[in-house]
Structure 1
Amino acid sequence: MDKETMLASLLSIETSEWDREKRYTSLHEVSAYSLETLKSKVAHAPFRLTYHIQPPCGLLNDPNGFCYFNGEYHLFYQWFPLGPVHGLKHWYHVKSKDLVSWEDCGVALIPDGHINSHGAYSGSGFILNDSLHVFYTANRRDKNWKRSCSQVIAKLMPNGLIETVNDAIESIPPEYTEHFRDPKVWQEGELFYAIIGAQRKCDLKGTGVIYRSLNGKDWQFIGEINTQLTQFGYMWECPDYFCLTEENESFGVFIFSPQGLNPTDDKFQNIYQSGYIVGPELNLPNLTFSHGEFHELDFGFDFYAPQTTMTPDGRRIMIAWMGLPEIEYPSDKDGWAHCLTLPRELTLIDGKIFQHPVKELQNLRKEVIFKGYADDKSIIGRSAHFELILSDDSTFDNFELALFASDPLLLNNKDSAIEKLTVRYDSMARQVTIDREFAGIAFATKYGTTRCYKLSKPLTHIQLFGDTSSLEVFFNHGEAAASLRHFSAVNNNAIIWQGHKTSVTLWQY
């Protein structure tokens, strides 16, 4: 079967039918017409979002190359164009002047050579000689399907494509396995540093390693970062290191996505996790990092592989993949999968990261649907694309907030169960719960249908962003965040409050 005939068949195949040949089809092997056919099919699919970054077709995963350059934020993401599966990874490019309105720049990196024959994996962006460069993992396999990789420096060209500069790290240090990927670059003075996720050969456990460069092109291995997390998952993906200031003191923050953690109470409930450790700045001469405990960044169902950058005014901004590997999503049948979270500003309070939706998101606010006080069992409004803020002059008592709910006023049978995505609060326990058991199409139920988080202080403020098939919630001005996908019926858009009288503002987005 030729590639064009095979592509035509991809429009209707099930995920289980994606064999190796189909998964490793490059954009170079299909016509522009075939790709536009795929895009057209996806554009008319249900569950498409309205103000989140999403793929035009196929599968999106890790955000890559997030950086500010020449007055614009540039963001790339991992992309398999031809279907909702993990296959030959390309890079797709979007850019924005305000972190809100994103311009579609098209595919930027198509694996087409020996160096990246089996995929352009994750990496980061940095500025070198007044040009945007990226540092990423090039993946390849031999005829026996044995994997190998290298870390490549490449440059964004005026034509919008990323071209290789040099194979900067051709071989993996002998102490580590082929699980060695996702370089994240930062600069201190005249020196460039990169942290790479790795797996040790001696115990098959995850870690991070550090490289250094004088010119941004030639890189020297320094060693392994020394943390207290010596037996913490089998691989640390998408590492990121930066500093945040609290009370005029600078602290180091190490974000990574450990794979292989066992669930403990309400922690580590997803298939894979993303989180951070904080301590005094990393001691670069000996790579010692004294730190506190590991904290998950987001307690929702769908959050992975975050990446950060710095704004011109000094804010640290994070974006993540709102999805997880090895899970089938209801949108798969329509030829696309996943989206990115909204950008969030990170601050440090009492040694913990607080996440705030960036202030620029206020530009998305349209008309006010409701402003005032919600009483017990009241319908606040109806919308599937919204920002909702609830606050209390003192602290919240117990409540239940139903989102993307079937409207009880329209149900023919008064005994009919309401479909809903629920946010609950237990004031005695200071515990918030996200429950999607009754939120439309069920999926990933083997990992549970609820997620819980115990707040450090009583709840006084909630900010929520709902889109067609996503929800992001921020509790107590960013002390806790929860991100998730849901696949509710298109007419399920009621927002229902059951609790004490509280102040509410609801905007249409």
Structure 2
Amino acid sequence: MTAKEGLLMQQAYHQVAKYKDKVENDPYRLNYHLMPPVGLLNDPNGLIQYKGVYHVFYQWNPFETAHGAKFWGHYSSKDLVRWQEEPIALAPSEWYEKNGCYSGSAVEADGQLYLFYTGNVKNGDGTRETYQCLAVSSDGIHFEKKGPVLKLPEGYTAHFRDPKVWKHADRWYMVVGAQTLDEKGVAALFTSKDLYNWEEVGTIAGSGMNGLGEFGYMWECPDLFHVDGKDVLLVSPQGLQPMGHSYHNLFQSGYFIGELNYENGTSLHGDFVELDRGFDFYAPQTFVDDRGRRILYGWMGMTDDAEQFQPTIANHWVHALTLPRELRLYDGKIFQKPVVEMEELRENQVVVEKAKVDGPVVKFDGVRGASVELLLDSIQVKEGTFAISFRNEAVLCFDADKQEVSLERRNFKTSEPEIRTCHLAAMSKLQVFMDHSSLEVFINDGEEVFTLRFFPNPEDESISFLGKAKFDLYKWDIGRIMMSEELR
């Protein structure tokens, strides 16, 4: 560790200590999601299970609740339930990363943990430089920077970032989010035998390729993996225009399903499908654990003009990560379900068998709270609408006649209602995780998912049902994930 890196880390720890009480006493602080100890959190990074321990790194600006020179924060867990805050993994101390250690990924090789990330440089004349960098650890906690291992290739602007690395057969591969010189978003592929020396394979997908028309000016945070017999490319394109019910956030995140030819770098894929239909979901990344599960985390946030109006900013923190979700592929569609370990946090079960809703507002005894899980099973909605109001601040509605499901909240900036909608032929099962200021809604075992932040009156713990429906109802309180701080 250089002296400058050590100084930056100590300054960050000072910020954590300075605002510790204010952050922890915020009524919108979450119980069972990973959050920054202070400042701003965005993309999940370096997801991996290393030597039996789960590691989640994340983009972090400890000095303000705005986007700036990012660090890599770090949490670890043995069970995906109880988490420990680890020392800072990366600080932007070197010339090749002076304006931020941007997003990247992790792999294990020869018993060591390798972090790949983008070094971001902004020059005084307004130009940018980008470097794909490497840091290595033998214990998963302390990292030695090796510097840039891939410089900007020809044909791309300096918007070239977020390396995701994996092994296929006997070679390593890296996919990078990129922008071509004519400002089209693409995913670029590279290969290496030793993780240090990388060769360009080519552009495997992008705007104007593989049957796509114009599809954004930049593709961020790519991830390519094999699941249930298919190759899946996750990507977060910027610059898509709204189309029907799709693409209504400032930036989108979704996937293509197809097949990558590793020999010549060509790929075939189908249509782009959004991963999450809600307001606050971006930059997802996946990894495989020792049980063979493909697990995803996303950033439960969005960089838009309402971001700086979130009330937690007054208490010097903003944003969180989603729950860990297991991915499966069924009939050409990605399904997402919360990992089964989340059930360990359930407390105080309430059961309402054969619940019936037939009226303007129905409430059930014991079905309330700010940190809860709801499960509605064997749902029957034959006609009309069925809705759930969460703490009088967000409403989920299924319209059986239109075959649509929607989620509504108030905009952070304008306080006006805003809505996200998608097509849904039927709703038979609903699993909702509410955590003080977040909602994650999993429909039909993850066929569709809605994620959002919302900020109700902290005293309001009401959950109301409206319309006409029958179902079996289960409710649990959800406890804290018991994070402990690493001694510094």
Same fold (TM over 0.5): yes
- Aligned partner of 1:127: which letter? E
Q: Which residue of 1 aligns with 2:299?
A: 321
Alignment of structure 1 residues 110-149 onto 2, 5 Å: 110-149=91-130
1:233 aligns with 2:213: no
- Root-mean-square deviation (Å): 2.0
CA contact (8 A) 2:393 2:454 kept: no
Residue 185 of structure 1: which of 140, 147, 165 is its match?
A: 165
Task: Report SS of the residue matched to 2:21.
Answer: helix
In the alignment, what sits opposite 2:463? 495
- Superposed, 1:328-367 pairs within 5 Å as 328=308, 329-367=310-348
Identity within the alignment, %: 40
Is 1:176 equivalent to 2:162 in the alignment? no
**Are positions 1:292 and 2:273 aligned together?**
no
Q: Which residue pairs with 2:192 in the alignment?
A: 213
Does the residue aligned with 1:30 lie in a helix, a strand or coil?
helix
Question: Aligned runs of 1:338-417 on 2, under 5 Å?
Answer: 338-376=319-357, 377-380=361-364, 381-392=367-378, 394=380, 397-405=383-391
Residue by residue over 1:402-457, the C-alpha shift from the partner in whole angstroms, topping out at 9 and shown as x without a partner, is 3432xxxxxxxxxxxxx3311111111221110113xxxx41559961111111x3
Alignment of 1:78-93 (within 5 A): 78-93=59-74
Residue 29 of structure 1 deviates from its aligned partner by 7.2
Residue identity in the other structure for 2:201: I
Measure how far apart 1:299 and its partner are. 0.4
The Cα of 1:372 is off from its aligned counterpart by 2.3
Kindly indicate whether the alpha-carbon contact (under 8 Å) linking 1:384 and 1:404 is maintained by their aligned counterparts in 2.
Answer: no
Q: Separation in 1 of the partners of 2:417 and 2:247?
A: 12
Aligned length, in residue pairs: 460
Bigger mean CA offset, 192-201 vs 95-104: 95-104
Query: What is the CA–CA distance in structure 2 between the aligned matches of 1:355 and 1:33, rounded to whole Å?
Result: 38
Q: Distance in 1 between matches of 2:223 and 2:238?
A: 16
- Whether 2:228 is the aligned partner of 1:242: answer no
Distance 1:119 1:447, change over 3 A: farther
2:148 matched residue in structure 1? 167
Match of 1:16 in 2: none
TM norm structure 2: 0.90
**2:226 is equivalent to residue 257 of structure 1:** no
Question: Partner amino acid for 1:372?
Answer: E
Residues 90 and 107, structure 1, Cα contact 8 Å, conserved in 2? yes
Shifted more, 486-495 versus 395-404: the winner is 395-404
Q: Hey, what does 1:450 align to over in structure 2?
A: 419
Determine the C-alpha separation between the residues in 1 that align with 2:15 and 2:280: 31
Instruction: Report how far residue 264 of structure 1 moved.
Output: 0.8
Q: TM-score, normalised by structure 1?
A: 0.87
Q: Which has the higher strand share?
A: 2
Q: Distance in 2 between matches of 1:294 and 1:267?
A: 11
Corresponding residue SS for 1:100: coil
Higher relative contact order (CA 8 A, sep 6+): 2
| 1:19 counterpart residue number | none
Structure 2 counterpart of 1:152, one-letter code: C
**Quick one: structure 1 residues 45 and 393, their matched pair in 2 at CA, closer, same or farther if it must change by over 3 Å?**
closer
2:353 partner SS: strand
Question: Secondary structure at the residue paired with 1:109?
Answer: coil
Distance 2:123 2:421 in 1: 45
| Structure 1 residue 480 displacement after superposition | 0.3
Match of 1:55 among 18, 36, 39: 36
1:96 and 1:484 map into 2 onto residues whose CA distance is 25
* Residue 266 in structure 1 maps to residue 245 in structure 2: yes
Q: Is the 8 A contact 1:184 1:194 kept in 2?
A: yes
- Aligned: 1:475 with 2:472: no
Q: 1:425 to 1:34 in 2, by over 3 A?
A: closer
